[in-house]
Amino acid sequence: MLELRLASRMSRLGTETAFEVLNRARALEKQGKEIIHLEIGEPDFDTPANVVEAGVDALRKGWTHYGPSAGLPELRQTIADYVGRTRKVPVSSDEVVVVPGGKPIIFFVILALIESGDEVLYPNPGFPIYESMVNYSVGKGIPIPLREERDFSVDVKELASLITDHTRLIILNSPHNPTGGILTKKDILDIAEAIGDRNIFVLSDEIYSRLIYDGEHFSIMSVPGFKERTILLDGFSKTYAMTGWRLGYGVMRADLASQIAKLVTNSNSCTASFTQMAGIEALRGDQSSVDKMSNEFRRRRDTFVAGLNKIKGFSCRMPKGAFYAFPNITRTGRYRGLGRNCFWSVWRRLSTLQCRQLARKPEPSLGADRRLGWKKSQVETRLAESPSRSNGESTRSFLRPPPARLGKPRLYKSSLSSVASLLLPRLTISAPRLV
Ligand code: PLP
């Protein structure tokens, strides 16, 4: 067979393992196994009906052709208005680049700005693509530790101490994946002060900006003088439950935006035209579905985190935004030697991470599969009802013995469900059953 000789740069590229777990979970689903999906970071809500209608209507009207690489002018203007309004800073449409999802902004911006030896500060734990792309671009990744005792916000003094003459980019993510931590206005102002007028860009990943439960979202783009050095990443995936549509955007100074558009021309050509038409409706139309989803997430968060904290050995800070919980499980004593299959190794990695985090060591980025999500109503239902149920196959599957006693890997569910199998026997939560 022909030898596959990959370019050496491929060895530097990481991945988001949540997608691998998702593939495996879907394959098991096809075999008839019951799967509760907690691996992938997406709302379990449907895209709002008005947005679906706008997409279908656009298809019927022939929005099925190539469009400009930077995005359809009408959507770019709509995004400029929206970002201008929400971040309280004037934005023009030539400062907007529409891309297939928020992720390409990370990819393109790092490709466009980072060269060998450039230092990039990124949150740790954090979205794994930051670290992957920094390595890919031969930059030097410098983790900004996010600590439990600070509710996973940034220690600005520590961040300031990490800035050097080689720092080219600082990545911020608030609300944060995977901890649910947020940066307050004061944090952001302090970070801006620490950066000062150095030649440093900020990639501000605000993809969860509308899913915030305590406090208000504040963008570094709103800080006077910071618009020209901020690349704001936002999109439709989380806010409008549109993950499969692939629609996101970056807002940045026009000279950089045109370079990012060039990368779009070289890769995707453009973002699908009919999804962009749906995006216009999402931003301009009725927003009540966003509020409804956000309120439901808040309710589930309260139930789920309260439940986690009742389990011996678990402690979980209250996430302030996004849809992730990040419990500390070091005191369970149940996390050693659990690397027997992918789910348990997920559990193990989570434990290890928390363990080391307490020891205040910088960590590798945390993959999306290594967190515990609280976004699924189904899981909450189980959490709520399991203690009182003594039979039923699906409940029993959660109540399997701890992994040390498992023979063949038998847990079909992703990270939270495997964790749930440990915690449910001891859990007592009274919450209304969801339908
Ligand atoms: N940034 C963060 C922090 C995320 O969690 C995600 C998705 O999980 C993205 C960016 C990418 O979002 P999209 O699906 O729109 O590419």
pLDDT at 26: 83
Q: Which of 239, 263, 284 is the last residue of a domain?
A: 284
Total of domains in the chain: 2
259 & 306 share domain: no
Indicate the top mutation candidate among 19, 42, 103 to test ligand 1's pocket, ranked by most ligand atoms within 8 A of CB. 103
Indicate the top mutation candidate among 16, 207, 212 to test ligand 1's pocket, ranked by most ligand atoms within 8 A of CB. 207
Place of tokens 């740790």: 124
pLDDT tens-digit series, residues 52-66: 999 999 999 999 999
Query: Helix crossing, 273-284 with 73-87: angle to 10°?
Result: 30
Q: For ligand 1, what atom is nearest to the CA of residue 176?
A: 3
122 & 249 share domain: yes
Distance, in Å, from the CA atom of 121 to the CA atom of 37, rounded to the nearest integer, reads: 31
In a domain, 298, yes or no: yes
Q: Which of 284, 299, 316 is the last residue of a domain?
A: 284
36 & 57 share domain: no
Q: Name the closest-CA residue to atom 5, ligand 1.
A: 177
Q: Which of 265, 284, 303 is the last residue of a domain?
A: 284
pLDDT at 400: 26
In a domain, 431, yes or no: no
pLDDT at 432: 24
pLDDT at 413: 30
Closest CA to 107 of 33, 14, 199: 14
Place of tokens 């915690």: 423
254 & 367 share domain: no
Distance, in Å, from the CA atom of 367 to the CA atom of 15, rounded to the nearest integer, reads: 8
In a domain, 356, yes or no: yes
Q: For ligand 1, what atom is nearest to the CA of residue 40?
A: 8
Query: Ligand 1 centroid vs 393 CA: distance in angstroms?
Result: 34
Q: For ligand 1, what atom is nearest to the CA of residue 106?
A: 10
58 & 177 share domain: yes
pLDDT tens-digit series, residues 293-334: 999 999 988 988 888 888 888 888 999 999 888 888 777 765
152 & 21 share domain: no
240 & 99 share domain: yes
Query: Ligand 1 centroid vs 19 CA: distance in angstroms?
Result: 12
The domain in which residue 163 lies consists of 49-284
pLDDT in tens, the chain (435 residues): 999 999 999 999 998 877 877 887 788 888 887 776 667 788 889 999 999 999 999 999 999 999 999 999 999 999 999 999 999 999 999 999 999 999 999 999 999 999 999 999 999 989 999 999 999 999 999 999 999 999 999 999 999 999 999 999 999 999 999 899 999 999 999 999 999 999 999 999 999 999 999 899 999 999 999 999 999 999 999 999 999 999 999 999 999 999 999 999 999 999 999 999 999 999 999 999 999 999 999 998 898 888 888 888 888 899 999 988 888 877 776 555 433 222 333 333 343 333 333 322 233 333 323 334 444 333 333 333 322 222 222 222 222 223 332 223 222 233 343 344 344 333 322 222 222
Residue 416, classified by CB atoms within 10 Å of its CB into exposed (0-12), middle (13-18) or buried (19+), is: buried
pTM metric for this prediction: 0.81
115 & 257 share domain: yes
pLDDT at 107: 97
124 & 249 share domain: yes
Indicate the top mutation candidate among 237, 245, 249, 276 to test ligand 1's pocket, ranked by most ligand atoms within 8 A of CB. 237
263 & 232 share domain: yes
pLDDT at 18: 77
pLDDT at 360: 26
In a domain, 154, yes or no: yes
324 & 175 share domain: no
What is the CATH number for 334? 3.90.1150.10
pLDDT at 386: 29
Query: Ligand 1 centroid vs 425 CA: distance in angstroms?
Result: 34
66 & 164 share domain: yes
Q: Name the closest-CA residue to atom 7, ligand 1.
A: 41
What is the CATH number for 62? 3.40.640.10
In a domain, 397, yes or no: yes
Tell me which residues have their CB closer than 6 angstroms to ligand 1.
Answer: 41, 101-103, 127, 173, 177, 205, 207, 235, 237, 243, 248
